[in-house]
Structure 1
Amino acid sequence: MNGSLRFKVADTPAEFEAIHRLNYRTFVEEIPQHPPNEARRLVDRFHAENTYAVCMDGDALVGMIAGRCNRPFSLDQKLADIDAFLPPHRKIVEVRLLAVDRPYRKREVFARLAGVLATCFRSQGCDVAIISGTLRETRLYQHLGFRPFGPLVGQAPAQFQPMVLTLDDYAGHVAHLEAMGGRRETCLMPGPVAVRAAVSEAFARAPISHRSAEFKGMLGRVRGRLQALSGAHDALVMPGSGTLANDAIGAQLATQGRPGVVLSNGEFGDRLIEHARRWRLPLHVLRAGWGQGFDAVQLQALMARARPSWVWMVACETSTGVRNDLGPVRALCREHGADLCVDAVSALGLQAIDLSGVRFASAVSGKALGAYPGLAIVCHDGRLADVGSVPRCLDLAMCRDTGGVPFTQSSNLVAALDAAMDLDWPPRWREVAAADRLLRDELRRRGFSLVAREGMAMPGVITVALGPQIPAARLARRMERSGYRIAHQSEYLIRRNWVQLCLMGEWDPHAVEILPDVFATNARACAERVPTRRSDSAPRIETVPG
Structure 2
Amino acid sequence: MSFTIKMARDKDEFDQIFDLNYETFVEEIPQHEQNDKKKLLDRFHAENQYIICKHDSEVIGMMAIRDIRPFSLDEKLGVIEEYLNFSFIKPCEVRLLAVKKTYRNGRVFTALTGGLIRYCLQKGHDIAFISGTTRQSKLYRHLGFQPFAHLVGKDEALFQPMYLTKRTFLTSDALQMISHVRSFLPGPVAIDKEVQTAFDQQPIWHRSEEHSNMVAAVKTKLKEMTNAKQVAILTGSGTLSNDAVAAHLAGLNSKGLILTNGEFGDRLVDHAERFQLTFDHISYDWGTSFLIEEIENKLMEGNYDWLWFVHCETSTGMLNDFKKIESLCKQYSVKLCVDAISSIGAVPLDLQHTYLATGVSGKAIGSYTGLSFVFYNSLENLSYPVPRYLDISYYEKCEGIPFSQSSNLFHALNVALDKFLDPSFIKERRSIFIQACEMFKDKGFHFVIDNQHSSPCVLTIAIPKELSSLAIGEDLYLNGFLVHYRNRYLIENNWIQIALMNANNDLKQLKSLIRVMEKLIIDQSFSISAYQ
Give the TM-score of the pair, scaled to structure 1.
0.63
Give the aligned partner of residue 407 of structure 2.
411
CA distance in 2, matches of 1:418, 1:267: 30
* Contact preservation (8 Å) 2:184, 2:505: no
CA distance in 2, matches of 1:110, 1:483: 10
Give the aligned partner of residue 437 of structure 1.
434
Q: Out of 512-521 and 251-260, give the one that drifted further.
A: 512-521
Alignment of 1:242-257 (within 5 A): 242-257=238-253
Alignment of 1:448-459 (within 5 A): 448-459=445-456
* Correspondence 1:503 to 2:500: yes
* Contact preservation (8 Å) 2:437, 2:451: no
* Contact preservation (8 Å) 2:364, 2:457: no
* Contact preservation (8 Å) 1:187, 1:507: no
Give the aligned partner of residue 480 of structure 2.
483
Contiguous gaps of at least 5 residues in structure 2: 1-100, 115-175, 528-532
Give the aligned partner of residue 285 of structure 2.
289
Deviation at 1:522, TM superposition (A): 2.4
Give the aligned partner of residue 78 of structure 2.
none
* Contact preservation (8 Å) 1:234, 1:381: yes
Deviation at 1:388, TM superposition (A): 7.6
* Aligned residue type for 2:294: Q
* Contact preservation (8 Å) 1:474, 1:526: no
Deviation at 1:106, TM superposition (A): 6.1
Change (3 A) 1:269 1:384: same
* Aligned residue type for 2:307: V
Deviation at 1:104, TM superposition (A): 7.2
Deviation at 1:378, TM superposition (A): 0.5
Query: Cα deviation per residue 1:214-243 (whole Å; 9 max; x = unaligned)?
Result: 111011100000001111111111101101
Deviation at 1:425, TM superposition (A): 4.2
| Residue in structure 1 matching 2:516, options 515, 518, 530 | 518
Give the aligned partner of residue 140 of structure 2.
none
Query: Cα deviation per residue 1:453-503 (whole Å; 9 max; x = unaligned)?
Result: 242111111111111222112111221222211011111111111111011
| Residue in structure 2 matching 1:340, options 336, 339, 350 | 336
CA distance in 2, matches of 1:361, 1:433: 23
Deviation at 1:382, TM superposition (A): 2.2
Query: Cα deviation per residue 1:376-412 (whole Å; 9 max; x = unaligned)?
Result: 1110112154598110110111111111111111111
Where 1:221 maps in the other structure, the secondary structure is helix
Give the aligned partner of residue 60 of structure 1.
none
Give the aligned partner of residue 135 of structure 1.
none
* Contact preservation (8 Å) 2:338, 2:356: yes
Give the aligned partner of residue 205 of structure 2.
209
Give the aligned partner of residue 267 of structure 1.
263
Deviation at 1:528, TM superposition (A): 7.3
* Correspondence 1:219 to 2:215: yes
Give the aligned partner of residue 184 of structure 2.
188
RMSD, aligned α-carbons: 2.5
Q: Out of 464-473 and 209-218, give the one that drifted further.
A: 464-473
Deviation at 1:415, TM superposition (A): 0.9
Give the aligned partner of residue 362 of structure 2.
366
CA distance in 2, matches of 1:261, 1:110: 53
Change (3 A) 1:379 1:527: farther
CA distance in 1, matches of 2:357, 2:266: 17
Where 1:361 maps in the other structure, the secondary structure is strand
* Aligned residue type for 1:429: I
* Contact preservation (8 Å) 1:267, 1:317: yes
Q: Size of the alignment, in residue pairs?
A: 364
Query: Cα deviation per residue 1:497-518 (whole Å; 9 max; x = unaligned)?
Result: 1111011122242212433223
Change (3 A) 1:527 1:476: farther
Give the aligned partner of residue 84 of structure 1.
none
Query: Cα deviation per residue 1:165-200 (whole Å; 9 max; x = unaligned)?
Result: xxxxxxxxxxxxxxx985953211010000110111
* Aligned residue type for 1:403: E
* Contact preservation (8 Å) 2:296, 2:328: yes
CA distance in 1, matches of 2:279, 2:190: 38
* Contact preservation (8 Å) 1:194, 1:505: yes
Deviation at 1:526, TM superposition (A): 4.2
Where 2:325 maps in the other structure, the secondary structure is helix
CA distance in 1, matches of 2:298, 2:111: 62
Query: Cα deviation per residue 1:312-343 (whole Å; 9 max; x = unaligned)?
Result: 01110000001111111111111111000000
Change (3 A) 1:191 1:454: closer
- Larger of the two Rg values belongs to structure: 1
Where 1:421 maps in the other structure, the secondary structure is helix
CA distance in 2, matches of 1:485, 1:470: 19
Query: Cα deviation per residue 1:269-308 (whole Å; 9 max; x = unaligned)?
Result: 1111111111111111112211110111211111111121
Where 1:273 maps in the other structure, the secondary structure is helix
* Contact preservation (8 Å) 1:203, 1:416: yes
CA distance in 1, matches of 2:204, 2:431: 40
* Aligned residue type for 1:511: Q
CA distance in 1, matches of 2:249, 2:336: 11
* Aligned residue type for 2:264: F
* Aligned residue type for 2:512: I
* Contact preservation (8 Å) 1:475, 1:526: no
Alignment of 1:86-101 (within 5 A): none
* Contact preservation (8 Å) 1:292, 1:453: no
* Aligned residue type for 2:462: A
Contiguous gaps of at least 5 residues in structure 1: 1-99, 114-179, 530-546
CA distance in 2, matches of 1:427, 1:112: 40
Give the TM-score of the pair, scaled to structure 2.
0.65
* Contact preservation (8 Å) 2:110, 2:178: no
* Contact preservation (8 Å) 2:315, 2:489: yes
CA distance in 2, matches of 1:101, 1:296: 63
Deviation at 1:111, TM superposition (A): 9.2
CA distance in 2, matches of 1:373, 1:475: 27
* Contact preservation (8 Å) 1:266, 1:319: yes
* Contact preservation (8 Å) 1:479, 1:485: yes
Change (3 A) 1:190 1:385: farther
Change (3 A) 1:108 1:324: farther
Where 1:235 maps in the other structure, the secondary structure is strand
